[in-house]
Chains A and B, each alone.
Chain A
Amino acid sequence: MLETALLLLLVGVFAGTAGSLLGIGGGMIVIPIITVGMGLPIKYAIGASVIAVIATSSGATIAYLRDELLNLRVAMFLEIATTVGAITGAVLVGLIHAVWLEALFGCFLLYSCYNMIKKLWGKKKLDTDQDVVPDHLSQRLRLGGSYYDKLTMKQVDYQVTNVPGGFAMMYGAGLASGLLGIGSGVFKVIAMDTIMKMPLKPSSATSNLMMGVTAAASATVYFFEGAIRPEIAAPIALGILIGAAIGTRIMQRIQPRILRIIFVPILFYMGIQMLIKGIGGTF
């Protein structure tokens, strides 16, 4: 019992550190370890994961807010889309068989992996060298912002564009979050960084806050359904809080590129494992 609790605590520390560094929830790491590594039902893994996501988000938000990387307007406006998506997903989850959830989760991990590799091979993009023209909605909602980059030691002003596209993507991110108990940070960063052309660092920080609010919507459903087991979720959550504190301290001094290189092989391995477990379960 003590060993299990300690193991879960360590899983949390690892997931919390990696999660806050990459602007993703701990779910991508927590779910494969609990289901494949420890052999527990995916239902409880999803419950623990959604708690992990909230812990990652709340733990990291404290640090980000002090650094003023966060764009609160972008976060709150897009939250309308993610929370509605999360409710849709949490309602749908009861209708889908566990095996399909596992396979779907494996696909999601492999997709995240592909997405990171694509970014690594794409043209080397620094956060500061963009010139974005804001669209009509972005101007009306005053979504542009500014942050201080510790790496280049400069104040960076930025604009965002293509708001409807980002909003639609955020609904999908919320749906995935409610369905799989993940933070959907990858989709959220895509919506902001790729579609809306927001710089990566404020995108990650904003995504972190949004993950928590989105996860709170689906977490309530899981909580009152009894899918959140105290002996699994609590040690992980405590570990995550420790890990998030570590991660946000390292983040300012690392280029996003290095983070991705470290994380791609881990994601790929976990994705394959989950896919095998999901497909294997059907035969």
Chain B
Amino acid sequence: MTENKQELDLKDEIHNAERLIGKVMQIGVFLAAGVMLIGVLMFLVSGHSGYSGTYHPYQFQTILAGLAGLKPYAIIMTGLFLLILTPVLRVVVSIYAFYVARDRLYVWITTIVLIILLIAMVIGMYGI
């Protein structure tokens, strides 16, 4: 009987963790979409990207500098980067979910995926 109850508790915890993943994902997606929308609307209303010619910022420093100056393209790029981060966030929260489920094997497997993603980012920024 007690074993059964423990199993039920664990199921409950897993269920809660899954709901948490859903919530976190939702917040991430809405945040990214909101920032993109603001940027797009600013770009369409003002008719200016905030930069000369067809240039758009794509490095951390230039995007941050553009954000400080409220330049539409910099705001859109921030939204796009937030969107790219949502699947990464998904992996991070999944590690937590597997931890809650006491599933050590999958905590490791999911951590490997996260490490591969971080390596991909480093390659993206600095090349091979």
A positions within 8 Å CB-CB of B = 1-2, 5, 51, 54-55, 57-59, 61-62, 65-66, 68, 72-73, 76-77, 79-80, 83-84, 86-87, 90-91, 141, 209, 212-213, 215-226, 228-231, 233-235, 237-238, 241
Contact = CB atoms under 8 A, between A and B. Distances in A.
B90 to A, nearest CB: 7
A234 B74 CA distance: 12
7 contacts: A58-B90, A68-B18, A83-B116, A87-B116, A216-B86, A235-B40, A241-B29
Nearest to A209: B90
A78 B23 CA distance: 24
B18 A87 contact: no
A141 B106 CA distance: 8
Instruction: Give the bracket for the number of chain B residues in contact with chain A.
Output: 35 or more
Nearest to B88: A216
Contacts of B21: 65
B59 interface: yes
A54 B39 CA distance: 19
A213 B120 contact: no
A248 B98 CA distance: 26
B25 to A, nearest CB: 5
Nearest to B54: A229
Nearest to B75: A230
Contact of A212 (B59, B87, B97, B124): B87
Contacts of B88: 213, 216
- B contacts with A: majority SS: helix
A212 B80 contact: no
Interface string B35-64: 011011001100101000000101100000
Contacts of A231: 43, 49, 56, 73, 76
A225 B124 contact: yes
Given A72-B97, A212-B87, A141 B105 contact: yes
B35 to A, nearest CB: 9
B44 A1 contact: yes
B117 A83 contact: yes
Contact of A223 (B33, B84, B98, B113): B84
Contacts of A238: 33, 36-37, 40
Contact of A234 (B28, B40, B123): B40
Given A77-B109, A238-B36, A220 B94 contact: no
Nearest to B95: A76
A238 B32 CA distance: 10
B22 A76 contact: no
Contacts of A54: 83-84, 86-87
Given A76-B113, A241-B29, A58 B83 contact: yes
B36 A226 contact: no
